[in-house]
Amino acid sequence: MGVSLTNDWKGSKKNRIEIKAISNSFVFLLSVFINFLNFNSMRRFTVILFLLLTGMHSAFAIHSFVNESKVWHYKKWKQGFVGQEDKYYFYQGDTVINGITAKKMYLKFDKESNKGNYQASLYEDGQKVYCCYPNKKDFELLYDFGAKKGEEVTISNITYVMEDVEEIKVGDEALRILYLSYTEGDEKFQFTWVQGFGGESIPLNSNPKLTGSYENFICCEMDGKVVLEGEDILKAIATPKTNNPNIQVHASTLHCTAPDAVKLAVYTMDAIKVGGAHFVDGEATVKVGEAPAMYFYIVTYPDGRRESGKARVSEE
């Protein structure tokens, strides 16, 4: 059974106008709906792209040492150990030296201040960081975060040996932690670098932190948020790994076995002496105070040769 329109329906001008109006409305609504879908798709795409780019920027920023969003915070003992003062290292502005664009690093003592004392200009080439100090005209190598185990790195006419390379987790990112050493006369020094953050002393000093250096790394902020703390580094160099195979760490004690040694001295990382002991039958033990904490030790031999390193002492 078929259904047909009557002549009145087909021939009615009013009905034809109504059909056209309905058709135009449908097309308009369909167009709006499609545009809505396209808009939301584009918006979703834009959001996803933004998140990807933000994540890539964040990852790059974490690994980058020369990054204007980073601020290093240290505490330094005042003369006579009568108290501590805060020190902040930060980047502000660019400069051009010998055709190379570099960022300027400053030091300030008030976190809220926007002004500081100029310290140096730095730039990165891959994983190498170069620095030009105020009294210099050329850049020199400050860090090589890409060095591999067993390689030698020469900085300021001192050749360091890369003894080991591990990883430290900072948020969702893995950073390289590098263990270095060098020998000066009869003494061997051992220390660490953290990729994107630097060494144990101030960021402009890639040399080992020795007794007599009173600056302690507290944290590094990026865009106003703490991304790395001193305790993170201590945990990364945790027991039982130490820089000297003759060192054993127990609950609140540091024990050293060295048949030829004569004396063991232990210091806090603030260069305050904790204690010392003479070797008896090749063994010496020093009880430390605060734990867990990192301590600096010096082993002295009869011929005057000394070995130094760090060990983290736990509570248990």
State which H helix or E strand residue 53 sits in: helix 13-63
Task: Decide if pLDDT at 202 tops 80.
Answer: yes
Task: Decide if pLDDT at 50 tops 50.
Answer: no
| Rounded mean pLDDT, 224-250 | 68
| Per-domain boundaries in the chain | 10-63, 70-236, 247-313
pLDDT of residue 307: 78
- Between these two residues, 200 and 166, which has the higher pLDDT value? 166
pLDDT of residue 308: 74
pTM of the model: 0.64
pLDDT of residue 53: 41
User: Which residue's structure tokens are 């210099």?
Assistant: 136
**∠148-150-151 over CA atoms, to 5°?**
65
- Token pair listed for 284: 């010496």
54-63 own/partner pairs: CB under 8 Å, 24+ apart:
59/173, 61/222, 62/170, 62/171, 62/173, 62/175, 62/196, 62/222, 62/227, 63/173, 63/175, 63/195, 63/196
The 10s digit of each residue's pLDDT in 122-170 is: 999 999 999 999 989 899 999 999 999 999 999 988 899 998 898 887 7
- Token pair listed for 235: 């945990």
- Between these two residues, 100 and 47, which has the higher pLDDT value? 100
- Token pair listed for 229: 């703390």
- Token pair listed for 70: 């980073």
Residue among 215, 314, 202, 200 nearest 270 (CA): 215
The 10s digit of each residue's pLDDT in 34-43 is: 454 455 555 5
CB atoms closer than 10 angstroms to residue 181: 18
- Whether 262 contacts 300, CB under 8 Å: yes
pLDDT of residue 25: 52
- Whether 249 contacts 242, CB under 8 Å: yes
Q: Which residues, in sequence order, are CB contacts of 101 under 8 Å at separation 6+?
A: 94, 95, 123
If pLDDT is split at 50, 70 and 90, which confidence band does 199 have? confident
Task: Decide if pLDDT at 108 tops 90.
Answer: yes
**How long is the chain?**
316
**Rounded Cα–Cα distance for residues 116 and 107 (Å):** 5
pLDDT of residue 290: 64
Query: 247-313 has which fold?
Result: Immunoglobulin-like (2.60.40)
- Between these two residues, 290 and 196, which has the higher pLDDT value? 196
Peptide bond into 240 cis (omega under 30): yes
Identify residue 167 by its one-letter amino acid code: E
pLDDT of residue 98: 94
Residue among 90, 121, 125, 119 nearest 104 (CA): 121
**Rounded Cα–Cα distance for residues 297 and 295 (Å):** 6
| Rounded mean pLDDT, 180-200 | 83
Task: Decide if pLDDT at 80 tops 60.
Answer: no
The 10s digit of each residue's pLDDT in 279-316 is: 999 899 998 876 667 787 888 888 777 777 777 776 65
Task: Decide if pLDDT at 222 tops 50.
Answer: yes
pLDDT of residue 270: 63
**Rounded Cα–Cα distance for residues 304 and 296 (Å):** 18
